[in-house]
Amino acid sequence: MDILNFPKFNILSICENEFEFLIQMVTNSPPLACPHCGCIANLYKHDSREQICMDLPLHGKRVSLLIKRQRYCCRDCNRTFWEHLDHTIDKKRNCTKRLLSYIETQSIERTFVSISEDVGLHEKTIRNIFGDYINRLRETHRYETPNWLGIDEIHIIKPRCVLTNIEECTLLDVLPNRNKETVADYLLSLPNRGQIRYVTMDMWQPYKDAVRAVLPKALIIVDKFHVVRMANQALETIRKQILEGLSPKERRGLMPGRFILLKRDIELTEKDRITLDLWRKNHPSLVTAYNLKELYLDIWECDNRQTAFLKYNEWKAKVPTDLQTAFEPLTKAMKNWEEEIFAYFDHRIPDAYTESLISLIRVINRLRRGYSFEALSAKILFTEGLRKQCKPKYQRRIDSYHLREGNFPMFNKPAIEVVREPEEIIFLGIDFPTLIDKLEKDEL
């Protein structure tokens, strides 16, 4: 009985122990011609050897195949060769092709150690198979180049560069680092990269340098999220400075301060306002800093660049001398990235994209422990069912000689040849909402 379903092999014996099957096999289809000279039916057996390779687990046990491999010699050219097993055995690794395929799919969902124990191959071999598989997937998983490209970062062990399609709210790729060379190489690999009109990014100089080098015509825009959070960070710095000079009893009065200060003025409850009034008497600089933060956030509600620029200069003049150090990172960033920051008011980034990216960063930061970068990025980029796609409309092709009712009134309808072109699926990237949902449900 052929329990392996290998039609080109005959099973000679089966041995079984507690952990695995050892199956001795021999091929049943000898070569018909010499691969060197092409001579037919002039071969003779010259030598043989036994080769062990691993196959898919069977009945919960590992499977080792002991294959008797024959060597032949050609009488015409007097050269020898081993019979080919390429139809079943992988050339590069000591396993069957179907086991290799099994390891590739399982390596995205399971740890390398568990797969190694399951199939009987070394963990390093599993890791190498995974690496080759991911490289192959990266070559085949190509997404439509967006008009509006987003460049941001996610912390997976260390900061990694994230490429996104802002208009479609999708993830394009996760790069191993955020160096200028890495980002530039990715941009150079994009097909039709000249169609990228806008690039949104964090205030990280290597991103800017890479875009300027590869996409000189693209307009760079800084998302307001990256700037606004610096105002909150300045406020938090002032709160911590005040806490350092207080007694333990006095500190308890500022314990809920961080959560109140993060709220917008319109979101404050009656209890929060009473707390702020109390702080205004005891810690006036903290309330001043909160008001400055609120005034700064109001700038981002302006309708145009000019109004926003004037309001920012007015806001900057209101920062007291004793608070300028805390707000210095913000004012310095506004100076160094002035053109890119105020470009936001001419080309506003959709709120849905920003909120989705923030949610994704939070979820991944929460789940990153226990995953290597390669494994987590593979789960994100290559899990089935996450890719967003669109189907182009059918194109209608008309004959070169148009038949119109005006020219041929005897016909009720114009004679038009409609040709349906082959349907092509365009992939736009990894859909943010679907990805976040699966990560939160631990389905990846």
Residues 296 and 323 sit within 8 Å (Cβ to Cβ): no
Q: Are 61 and 11 in a shared domain?
A: yes
Q: How far apart are the C-alpha atoms of 296 and 237, rounded to whole Å?
A: 16
Q: Enumerate residues 6+ apart whose C-beta is below 8 A from 264.
A: 294, 297
What CA dihedral angle connects 278, 281, 286 and 288, to 10 degrees? 110
User: What's the domain count of the chain?
Assistant: 3
Region of residue 285 (left: phi > 0; alpha: psi -120 to 50; beta: else): alpha
Asked if residue 324 and residue 424 are part of one domain, the reply reads: no
Q: Contact, 223 vs 345, CB < 8 A?
A: no
Q: Which pLDDT score is estimated for 387?
A: 85
> Would strands 198-201 and 219-222 be described as parallel, antiparallel, or unpaired?
parallel
User: Do residues 192 and 340 share a domain?
Assistant: no
Position 391 scores a pLDDT of 58
Same domain, 214 and 356: yes
Contact call for residues 239 and 261 (beta carbons, < 8 A)? yes
Q: What is the tens place of the pLDDT at every residue in 392-408? A: 544 444 444 444 444 44
Q: How many Å apart are CA 410 and CA 393, to the nearest integer? A: 32
- The CA R_g of the chain, rounded to the nearest whole Å, is 33
Is 396 part of any domain? yes
Domain boundary among 54, 70, 89: 89
**Which band of pLDDT confidence, cut at 50, 70 and 90, is reported for residue 9?**
confident
Query: At 262, phi and psi to the nearest 5?
Result: -75, -20
Residue 249 lies in a domain: yes
Whether residue 337 is found in the same domain as residue 384: no
H or E stretch covering 219: strand 219-222
128 occurs within a structural domain: no
User: Same domain, yes or no, for 157 and 185?
Assistant: yes
Residue 90 three-state SS: coil
Same domain (yes/no): 184, 243: no
pLDDT single digits (tens) 114-164: 999 999 999 999 999 998 998 888 877 778 899 999 999 888 778 889 999
Residues 255 and 168 in one domain: no
Residue whose structure tokens are 């898919």: 56
DSSP secondary structure string for all residues of 154-204: EEESEEEEEEEETTTTEEEEEES---HHHHHHHHHHSTTGGG--EEEE-S-
More confident residue, 253 or 391: 253
* Residue at a domain's end among 316, 345, 374: 345
Q: Which of 345, 366, 389 is the last residue of a domain?
A: 345
Same domain for 328 and 389, yes or no, is no
Residue at 398: amino acid letter = I
Indicate whether 319 pLDDT > 60.
yes
Q: What is the three-class DSSP state of 59?
A: coil
Residue whose tokens read 């000079």: 245
pLDDT digits (tens, 9 = 90+) for 15-68: 989 889 999 988 888 888 888 888 877 888 888 888 889 999 998 899 999 998
What would the pLDDT profile of 346-374 be if each residue is shown by its tens digit? 998 887 787 788 788 778 767 655 567 88
User: 349 Cβ partners below 8 Å, 6+ apart?
Assistant: 166, 200, 221, 223, 224
Query: Alpha helices of 319-442 — where are they, by DSSP H?
Result: 324-336, 338-342, 351-367, 373-382, 432-440
Collapsed DSSP state (helix, strand, coil) of residue 427: strand
**62 in Cβ contact with 120 (< 8 Å):** yes
Taken as a whole, the chain contains a residue count of: 444
- Percentage of residues in the chain with pLDDT exceeding 70? 89
* 417 in the same domain as 318: no
Question: Are residues 82 and 64 part of one domain?
Answer: yes
- pLDDT confidence tier of residue 248, bands split at 50, 70 and 90: confident
The mean-pLDDT minimum among 45-54, 158-167, 244-253, 301-310 falls in 244-253
Q: Quick check: is 41 in a domain?
A: yes
Tokens of 417: 């040849």
- The answer to the question of residue 427 being in a domain is yes
Contact 199, 247 (CB under 8 A): no
Could you tell me if residue 291 is inside a domain? yes
- Which residue range is the domain that position 261 belongs to? 224-345
The answer to whether residue 16 is domain-embedded is: yes
Q: Is there a domain that residue 75 lies in?
A: yes
Q: What is the CATH number of the domain that holds 203?
A: 3.30.420
- 314 and 361 part of one domain: no
Return d(Cα 222, Cα 184) in angstroms, integer: 18
**Using an 8 Å Cβ cutoff, are 285 and 256 in contact?**
no
